[in-house]
Amino acid sequence: MGPGVCAGHGGSDGAPGSGARENGLEAGFTAARATGDRWFSDVALRDAINRGDVPGPRMVVAGHPIGIPGGHCDDAGWVPGLFGREGGPLEGVANGADQMAESVRLQIKYGADLIKVCATGGVISVGDDFGERQLTDAELKAVVDAAHMAGRRVTAHAHGTEGITAALRAGMDAIEHASLIDDEGIRLMKERGVFYVSTIYAGDAVARMARSGALTGEYARKALAVGDMIMKSVGRAHAAGVKVALGTDNIFESHTTDAREFELAVKAGLRPMEAIVAGTRVGAELIGWEKNIGTIEAGKFADLVAVRGDPLADITLLQRVQLVMKGGVVVVDRR
């Protein structure tokens, strides 16, 4: 089969990554899209992989995710002054259209390949609800305009219906989660060719953590509410013809487990081959690398993944890859 392109690989939504991003290569992902981290650690990791200092997938990274003070992308809920000062545009915390544009430009200055904005509240954040909208029309448009002017694509963390629609009308290139998407949101995504990044893994993970007691209080309440919604929304959007790209938003477990998203996508209603395409060709299109990766064709990078058996008959085989080749070099061989 072709190479894996994990669209939501790594820390995102304002939370730190697991510290094991390079292990995504072991799971068969030869390219990855990291949609937000702190202090440009994703930039440093991307560059270290590109230099050959550490093994890992080719990475497209976002720098700090951008949002409002006290919103999903901010460090809310702590004692004031604990971090020395309030975060500002450099840290992805912005008020108003001008600061939003400034924040975009600062992320790009320090190495961001794409821009991530938090259009709604989230699950792993305090003081907000995952369905509430957090940015104005002017703020969303400022982010999109500043990013597109610099040749960067923009994705929005968005759970709630109003936030999803506002982000789409502002010109987002992709939406993460879209848990409460309605028919209008699905229509806009299809009409405008916007990518739906699946992240069913994240919904499943937080729901499991809530049931086990690892998440409590408001975290648990939100996790149990949102868990099943993402899977249902992905299924509805896919059935309507929206472009679904495989992504995990995995900030909870080792990235060696990221291929579970294929299984969850099939449970959401994608056929096995459609799930594989979401994690290869569509993922490559999402990050703009379709000329080099995503399919097996002459002239493209020699990225290959092999399993023992037929993943169209058993999609879980993709969680047990036997061989991974990146750029013509075998990097994993379990045969």
The tens digit of pLDDT for each residue in 108-143 reads 999 999 999 999 998 888 878 888 999 999 999 999
Residue range 24-40, pLDDT digits in tens? 898 999 999 999 998 99
- Domain with residue 151: its CATH number is 3.20.20.140
> pLDDT above 70 covers what percent of the chain?
91
- Residue 320 lies inside a defined structural domain of this protein: no
- Residue 53 lies inside a defined structural domain of this protein: yes
Is residue 189 a contact partner of residue 242, using CB atoms and an 8 Å limit? yes
Q: Annotated catalytic sites, by residue?
A: 116, 249
- Residue 313 lies inside a defined structural domain of this protein: no
Statement: residue 10 has pLDDT above 60? no
- Residue 297 lies inside a defined structural domain of this protein: yes
Structural domain range at position 139:
4-302
Q: What is the pLDDT of residue 3?
A: 52
Is residue 209 a contact partner of residue 252, using CB atoms and an 8 Å limit? yes
Which phi and psi angles does 137 have, rounded to 5°?
Answer: -60, -45
Residue range 155-168, pLDDT digits in tens? 999 999 999 999 99
Angle between helix axes 217-239 and 200-212 (nearest 10 degrees) is 150
Is residue 126 a contact partner of residue 146, using CB atoms and an 8 Å limit? no
Tally the domains of the chain: 1
pLDDT category of residue 75 using cuts at 50, 70 and 90? confident
pTM for this model (two decimals): 0.91
